[in-house]
Amino acid sequence: MTHSAHPTPLEARSSGPLSGKARVPGDKSISHRALILGALAVGETRISGLLEGEDVLNTAKAMRALGAKVERTGDFAWSVRGVGVAGFAQPEMPLDFGNSGTGCRLVMGAVAGCPITAVFDGDASLRSRPMRRILDPLELMGARTGASGEGGRLPLTLHGARDPLPILYRTPVASAQIKSAVLLAGLAAPGVTTVIETEASRDHTELMMKHFGAQIVSASEGVHGRKIALTGQPELHGAEVVVPADPSSAAFPVVAALIVEGSDIVLSDVMTNPLRTGLLTTLREMGASIEESHVRGDAGEPMAQLRVRASKLRGVEVPPERAPSMIDEYLVLAVAAGFAEGTTIMRGLQELRVKESDRLEATAAMLRVNGVKVEISGNDLIVEGKGHVPGGGLVATHMDHRIAMSALVMGLASDKPVKVDDTAFIATSFPDFIPMMRGLGAEFS
């Protein structure tokens, strides 16, 4: 299955300059974590700016099924009354995470520290994604995997640990999901749970755990790594969380404004956590005009207003150590690279092969069908930019929201329109993408 039951194709064509001000949805990573930690806290957590996409709503449903009281109190405003660390109740039905690998893997960690059994499931895309590297450390902590699909895939049954053990775990790859699952399980373990990363991944879990009252220390390890130590069995307390705008969602209007001649847009409250700004760093190296102002922060997460103006881009080489800070943004960066003058080399993209689709192959296919010369060499993506993109292709999205949005962005500046086979899955992360982009002047039909 490569598209939804009722596919909704869409075509993007060259438009006039994009202009105006917008706020992209709340950050998905922060939204998931706010719901989960709110459910593991004592008292009430109030969340504003929550992303109300399908992925996050499925996490909210899972928290309800596990015993927390979760209510929507207004537009993007939610209340969570938690059950305390290790307080989850056994769910009566399977926990269905739809398309969300993040929600599923983080909740596995939270459930692993509780003496309950839960069945995890999702859609066809999520069922195809590997879970073993999440399960391995959780089993070291005392959890057990029951029935599962081939290779530890969904649907699977997870038996949480009655007496979870603190561990020291070195992550095999830079993955915030692996690290977060271990730390969430470690909340219920006595003593100190330690995670060591060779390459630092997103630190949203650490920052938010601290915001909820956990004792957690993060220090440099080696050249690019981190060592995170969590003292287990804290009493987390309900907290106020303001969710900043998602930089991964902002990536699409940012690149659109850079490649559509004459564009000048402003995006408000975009998260500028240094471990999430690899795309902005890379685009600026390519010659992009991106200005930051109105800097502020909440729950340890910085945010700023971005002003983005159309720019002449040039090819660059993106080092592999930057990948963890922009892993979801390489698809739309590849679009920008197609419009740049010269060759862009993106190194160390092996993580793209285990996302909603094989994003490395799908990205190359998206560019090729629209006349861009592209090559995959090992885990590197090489794009030959000519300053313009011929377009005219039909892009297969493979049930992947980011491929769909990247292709639509490409069509806004390509010589001929670009069509995508299915836009239904955009709703998993950015429900208002199409109307928001139209509001800035984009032409879709």
Reading the chain (445 residues) residue by residue, the pLDDT tens digits are 455 668 899 999 998 999 999 999 999 999 999 999 999 999 999 999 999 989 999 999 999 999 999 999 999 999 999 999 999 999 999 999 999 999 999 999 999 999 999 999 999 989 998 899 999 999 999 999 998 888 789 999 999 999 999 999 999 988 999 999 999 999 999 999 999 999 899 899 999 999 999 999 999 999 989 999 999 999 999 999 999 999 999 999 999 999 999 999 999 999 999 989 999 999 999 999 999 999 988 777 899 999 999 999 999 999 998 998 898 999 999 999 999 999 999 999 988 887 666 899 999 999 999 999 999 999 999 999 999 999 999 999 998 999 999 999 999 999 999 999 999 999 888 989 999 999 999 999 9
Stretch (H or E) spanning 297: strand 289-298
Using alpha carbons, select from 124, 55, 113 the residue that is nearest to residue 85: 113
Using alpha carbons, select from 429, 421, 413 the residue that is nearest to residue 248: 429
Using alpha carbons, select from 13, 74, 437 the residue that is nearest to residue 267: 437
* Cα 131 from Cα 116, distance rounded (Å): 19
Residue 151's pLDDT is 79
Out of 298, 328, 400, 422, pick the active-site residue. Answer: 328
Using alpha carbons, select from 340, 247, 328 the residue that is nearest to residue 287: 340
Altogether, the residues listed in the chain come to a count of 445
Q: Is 203 one of the annotated active-site residues of the chain?
A: no
Q: How many CB atoms sit inside 10 A of residue 314's CB?
A: 16
Residues 6+ apart with CB under 8 A from 19: 263, 264, 265, 440, 441
Using alpha carbons, select from 177, 153, 178, 156 the residue that is nearest to residue 167: 178
Using alpha carbons, select from 304, 257, 283, 298 the residue that is nearest to residue 412: 257
